[in-house]
Structure 1
């Protein structure tokens, strides 16, 4: 089975950087910039293996989006990774039930290991 990631990120550049890192590990991805399309994307995506969720977006907080995702069985069964420049949010993310947390900018030297650990259902809580 091939892995597919859903990237929820308001910054197109950051989303493309993450998509490139995923592609290097043979993980395809779908980018959602417009939060109003999340439900539609979930409805027609292949099986999702992992979700990367930016915590700071203009239309809603990542925490609000997390609550929405947790209410959808298509998303709630996969690891949801908080990723943000606000590393002080790590404790809030853990308390709310995120699977993992990665600080931005992502460390390209460590990303492959982090990704594979998460895909193997091992939580990763790293800020750099």
Structure 2
């Protein structure tokens, strides 16, 4: 069974690159440019196995979105990988403290990302 990934990122270039990379490896996916819409997608698509959450977005950032997801019993179990350009150790810990299971820094190393997805899903 193919894993279904939700990519949440406000930059269409990042979404495009991730979709190409993941589709070539057999994943199916949904995308959202806004965290609020991503939460709605999660609530309505039980086939999503993993979320790739950009942490720096307008309106609602990834930290707030993850906290909301973790408080919702119907979707709180879905693994989330934080994706951010913030590469300091304290940034990694901040993502994990918010409720992400893993952290991948930008620019994304595809091998690291695939290992993280496979580990969590």
The verdict on a shared fold, with TM-score over 0.5 as the criterion, is yes
The one-character-per-residue Cα deviations of 1:25-50 (angstroms, maximum 9, x if unpaired) are 21111110133423432244251110
Per-residue deviation, 1:116 = 1.8
5+ long unaligned stretches in structure 1:
120-128
Q: RMSD of the alignment, in Å?
A: 1.8
- Residue correspondences, number: 119
The answer to whether the 8 Å contact 1:84/1:104 transfers is yes
Report the equivalent of 1:11.
Answer: 11
Work out the CA distance in 2 between the residues paired with 1:78 and 1:33.
19
Report the equivalent of 1:41.
Answer: 41
TM-score, normalised with respect to structure 1: 0.81
5+ long unaligned stretches in structure 2:
none
1:94/1:2 CA distance change after superposition, 3 Å: same
Which segment drifts farther, 66-75 or 52-61?
66-75
TM-score, normalised with respect to structure 2: 0.85
Report the equivalent of 1:87.
Answer: 87
Report the equivalent of 1:20.
Answer: 20
